[in-house]
Amino acid sequence: MSDKKTVKINGFVFTDEAEAEQAKKEAQGIHYVEERADMHHPETVLEIYTKMVKQELFETAVGYTYLKELQEYLIQNPAINNADILPIYVTHPMLEESLKKKLRISAKNQSDEKKKQGKADGYRKKYEITLFISVILAISIIGMFIIASTSDSPTILNYENKLIDKYAEWEQELDEREAALNEREQMVEEP
């Protein structure tokens, strides 16, 4: 035997505390039925047996052994039709719970994988949107430089040259007007 604590109930040894507790409850239930019911009448035994099987009251070897004893008694009794005797449905709640736990863990792992995949898809979508916006901004900046270089209006890049050229034009116009005025004045004085 291992180091686990063992519990003996009705000739069975249990190492699982929860299963031992269930077996104890089943043994108490069997004792209660034995005390209260008239187990000498086969019809009463069949009725009790049928209710216990339909309600699936037992989960441990203690309960199943009792059901098997009742079943054998009913089969041996000529007053009971064997077709009326239900088979015993055996369930293993500890095993089933263990399997359910494994299924839950597996489902959780799959769920975690889906979440990770969802996050990766979310990040990929964000990356694609950011990339799209960056390309549009880059194209806009390049377009602005092209417009600035081909435009005649002054910009920060060529503002000083445009101002100097403009002032030079004004100075030239003023010089031409002054020369024209000087000519007129000379014409007016010569007659």
What are 14-53's pLDDT values in tens digits?
A: 777 888 888 899 899 888 888 888 888 888 888 988 988 8
Residue 115 pLDDT class (50, 70, 90 cuts): confident
Q: What is the pLDDT of residues 62-89, one digit of tens each?
A: 888 888 888 888 888 888 888 888 888 7
**Spatial separation of the C-alpha atoms in residues 160 and 158, rounded to whole Å:** 6
In the predicted model, is pLDDT for residue 156 greater than 90?
A: no
AA letter at 121: D
Helix (H, G, I), strand (E, B) or coil at 9: strand
- 92 close to 61: Cβ distance less than 8 angstroms: no
Query: Cα 24 from chain centroid?
Result: 41
What is d(CA 11, CA 1) in angstroms, rounded to the nearest whole number?
A: 16
Three-state secondary-structure class, residue 119: helix
Q: How far apart are CA 155 and CA 11, in angstroms?
A: 102
Q: Give Cα separations from 95 to 20, 90, 101, 108 (angstroms).
A: 14, 12, 10, 20
- Tokens (6 digits) for 83: 């077709």
- Position of tokens 């040259």? 161
Which pair of structure tokens corresponds to residue 157? 């890049």
User: Bridge partners of 14?
Assistant: 7
Alpha helices in 5-60 (DSSP H): 17-36, 42-55
Position 166 pLDDT exceeds 90 = no
Q: Which amino acid is at 8?
A: K
pTM of the model: 0.47
Mean pLDDT of 87-104: 66
Taking CA 167 as the corner, what is the angle to CA 161 and CA 171, rounded to the nearest 5 degrees? 145
For helices 61-76 and 17-36, angle between their N-to-C axes, nearest 10 degrees:
30
Please report the pLDDT score of residue 92 as a whole number: 66
Tokens 């960056």 correspond to 134
